[in-house]
Amino acid sequence: MAEKRKCRQYSTEHLKLRFIPSPSNVQLPFCFLCEKTFSNEAMKPSRLKDYLVRIHSDKADKPVSFFQSLKAKFEGCSTVEKLFGKSSLNADKGLICSYEVSLLIAKCGKPHTIGETLILPAVKQIVATMLGLSASTFTQSIPLSNDTVSKRIDEMAAEVEEMLIDTLKSTKFVMQIDESTISENEALLLAYVRFINRNEEIGEELLFAQTLATDTKGSSIFKKVEEFFNEKNIPLTNVMACATDGAASMVGRYRGFQAHLKSVLYEENDKEFERLLLHTEVRWLSKEKCLRRFHKLFDTVVEFLESINPSLSSSLKLQHLAVAYLADVFDKLNEVNVKLQGNKINFIKAKGVICSFISKLDILASNMSRQKLYQFPSLGNERQLQAEDLNIFFCHLKQLKEDMETRFYDLRNLEVPTWVLNPVTADFVQLHPKLQEPLTDLKYDYESQSHFQSYGCEAF
């Protein structure tokens, strides 16, 4: 757990060392002799005294009254900010409001013109109605034109990207790559990263979204990722794991994206190491929604096909029960996918979700064999359901369970040490000697126990 940095506060005793609090930040020391601001670390009396002796040795022996008079003169000097005090303060607050409102506009995905055409007029009306004041003095200092909002959003995005890049240069992280096709057959490559941020918490951010100019082959995808990493000076060796979907361009053994990534990592590390490749079928969500919608409109679709392709319409009628069953099954799969998403998911939670779902399949199959269809609302509403149909669906659930057990074999057999879940009550006798002493110290660190109970094992 990272040690919290100590922030020193200004004391009147520092005036004896010829320093006053900085006009811009009272937590920073300011030398009014040379008008320089120093970091908070320089607030130590020994450092301030050393600076005075080295730089202003001719004034080191002056009495405190001499510096008090200099301080009074300095604080009494006219500045642009003092001459335009109120208007300058309003301008600063207006600039802050401009950035904050621009951020809200970006988060809501609204047109940039909404700031000037709706938000500012609304603010004027609210202030005039609720406070009985003229809002012109407030709104005039808040620039929210279309160009201004666009500029603010670009500035904030650039700063966020710069901070993210700086973090990834010195931090191990995992990456998720996905390729999708948008309008006009344009291929878009998305990259997300997950890492431990400066607050010692798990952070998840969009790294980039770029178009693929040529094709969506594994080599083209890897080339785009490699170009971005080289441009931003991010070492590829910082990538601990890479998650993709099951497309051949991503997971192909020889020419897929992950194959190219592995080969580069092997070359750069010059030693054998393992990488966990987590494959997620992200398209389950869209399949579930399509099946649910298709089932609701089943009769309409059959009627429509009757006039176009009677043979296809007749074949589709025979699959009515199968569509109802699959709609219910994909509802369950959708629930699993939702639980596996988000910033707070980890291997421990993922194992619990997958193991729970596999166990539920036994329950679903058992209820299916006894004709108890509470977990299958769409199938249960069908009147033409026969025992033969239930037997087919029962066998499918058994097969689905076997497939899930095979697919997630490594995750199901993942051993989660007790001390990871609860270091306070765990028994350390069987652990490696290297871990026994520090974990014992942690067990009796009551301040850390309180932190663990408040924030959980992830933040801890």
Which range, 18-32, 277-291, 295-309, has the best average confidence (pLDDT)?
Answer: 295-309
Encoded tokens for 27: 């937590």
What is the pLDDT averaged over residues 265-270? 45
Q: Is the confidence at residue 281, as pLDDT, over 50?
A: no
Q: Does residue 48 contact residue 19 with C-beta atoms inside 8 Å? A: yes
pLDDT at 402: 92
Cβ contact 237:171 at 8 Å: no
Residue pointed to by tokens 């709609």: 327
Q: Tokens representing 358?
A: 């596999």
pLDDT tens, position by position, 28-85: 777 766 767 766 666 677 776 777 777 777 766 777 677 677 767 666 665 545 444 4
Question: What are the backbone angles phi and psi of residue 343, rounded to the nearest 5°?
Answer: -70, -25
Cβ–Cβ < 8 Å for 123, 114 = no
Tell me the pLDDT band of 145, cut-offs 50, 70 and 90: confident
pLDDT tens, residue by residue, 206-244: 888 888 766 667 777 888 888 888 888 988 888 888 877
> Are 212 and 179 in contact, with CB atoms under 8 Å apart?
yes
Q: CA geometry: angle at 195 spanning 424 and 220, to 5°?
A: 145
Burial 44-55 (b: 16+ CB within 10 A, else e): eeeebeebbeee
Average of pLDDT values for 90-98? 76
CA nearest neighbour of 456 among 114, 286, 201, 203: 201
How far is it, in rounded angstroms, from Cα 148 to Cα 112? 9
Tell me the HSE value of 340 on the side-chain side, using a 13 A CA sphere. 23
Alpha-carbon span 112 to 102, nearest angstrom: 8
Q: What is the pLDDT of residues 358-372, one digit of tens each?
A: 999 999 999 888 888
| pLDDT higher than 60, residue 118 | yes
- Would the pLDDT of 10 be above 60? no
Identify the CA nearest to 50 among candidates 35, 64, 38. 38
pLDDT at site 15: 57
Min mean pLDDT across 65-69, 161-165, 173-177, 407-411 is at 65-69
Strand (E) or helix (H) holding 296: helix 284-296
DSSP 311-375: HHHHHHHTTHHHHHHHHHHHHHHHHHHHHT-STT--HHHHHHHHHHHHHHHHHHHHHHHTT--TT
> How much is the mean pLDDT over the chain?
74
For a pLDDT cut of 70, what percent of the chain falls above it?
A: 62
Q: Which tokens sit at 6?
A: 């100590």
Count of residues making up the chain: 460
Distance, in Å, from the CA atom of 241 to the CA atom of 239, rounded to the nearest integer, reads 6
- The domain segmentation of the chain, as residue ranges, is 12-76, 90-154, 171-279, 283-413, 418-455
pLDDT of residue 397: 92
Give the separation between CA 29 and CA 11, rounded to whole angstroms.
Answer: 10
The pLDDT assigned to 269 comes to 43
Do 353 and 337 touch, CB atoms closer than 8 A? Answer: no
Record the pTM: 0.45
Report the topology of domain 171-279: Nucleotidyltransferase; domain 5 (3.30.420)
- Asked whether the beta carbons of 232 and 191 are under 8 A apart, the reply is no
Phi, psi dihedral angles at 234 (to 5 degrees): -95, 120
Name beta bridge partners: 34.
none
pLDDT of residue 395: 93
**Closest among 174, 197, 172, 169 to 346, alpha carbons compared:** 174
Helix pair 347-369, 387-407: axis angle to 10 deg = 160
Q: Which residues contact 433 (CB under 8 A, 6 or more apart)?
A: none
Confidence of residue 278 (pLDDT cuts 50, 70, 90): very low
Is the CB of residue 32 less than 8 Å from the CB of residue 20? Answer: yes
Contact between 120 and 139 under an 8 Å Cβ cutoff? The reply is: yes
- Residue 177: pLDDT above 60? yes
**Are 223 and 25 spatial neighbours (Cβ–Cβ below 8 Å)?**
no
> Tell me, what's the pLDDT at 268?
45
SS3 108: helix
- The CB-side HSE value for 242 (13 A sphere, CA atoms) comes to 24
Q: Taking a C-beta distance cutoff of 8 angstroms, is the pair 457, 420 a contact?
A: yes
What totals of helices (H) and strands (E) does the chain contain, helices first? 22, 7
* pLDDT higher at 415 or 88: 415
Q: By percentage, how much of the chain surpasses pLDDT 90?
A: 4
Asked if pLDDT for residue 294 goes beyond 90, the answer is: no
Please give the pLDDT value at position 398: 92
